[in-house]
Amino acid sequence: MSDNDIIGKFREKGLRLTPQRMSVYRALCELRHPTAEEVREQVRRLTPAITVATVYNTLETLVKSGLAEKVFTLDNKMRFDADTRPHHHLYDNRTHSISDLSESGLSDLIRSHIKEMGVLKDFELQEIKIELIGHYRQN
């Protein structure tokens, strides 16, 4: 992602862009679903003086402004995702890695199934996020 892309994204969300926010966001985009620790390690290579607290706070700020989302997984680690478009996750329970699964109509399928079943009438459904758990077969 170019500097201009990042500048545009921050501007779109009305978030002031600082050099620290830039490096944390860049690391988040490069790493794909990293933990805060992984972001910190990546950022430290270029910005050794950055504190752990700054990285955590910056990640929280990115989430609040809609530039990132938190992802909770079975290994009890909070991960972060720079891709805020609707999509689902494949969780590999051997490697604890996450890969993306495109939305491709899955949410609509579930919404119409719920409607057909006549359940959840009192529940205001806002978003559907699916986590498929398993692992890749070894060939």
List residues near Zn ion by CB under 5 A.
81, 83, 100
Distance CA 64, CA 24 (A): 15
Pairing of strands 69-72, 131-134: unpaired
Least CB distance to Zn ion at residue 80 (A): 10
From residue 61, give the alpha-carbon distance in Å to each of 50, 104, 113: 16, 29, 36
Shortest-Cβ-distance residue relative to Zn ion: 81
**Residue 98: left (phi > 0), alpha (psi -120 to 50), or beta?**
beta
47 vs 92 by CB, closer to Zn ion:
92
Q: Would you give the end-to-end CA distance of the chain in angstroms? A: 34
Least CB distance to Zn ion at residue 103 (A): 11
Least CB distance to Zn ion at residue 9 (A): 16
3 vs 30 by CB, closer to Zn ion:
30
37 vs 83 by CB, closer to Zn ion:
83
Least CB distance to Zn ion at residue 82 (A): 8
User: Residue 53 CA to chain centroid, in angstroms?
Assistant: 19
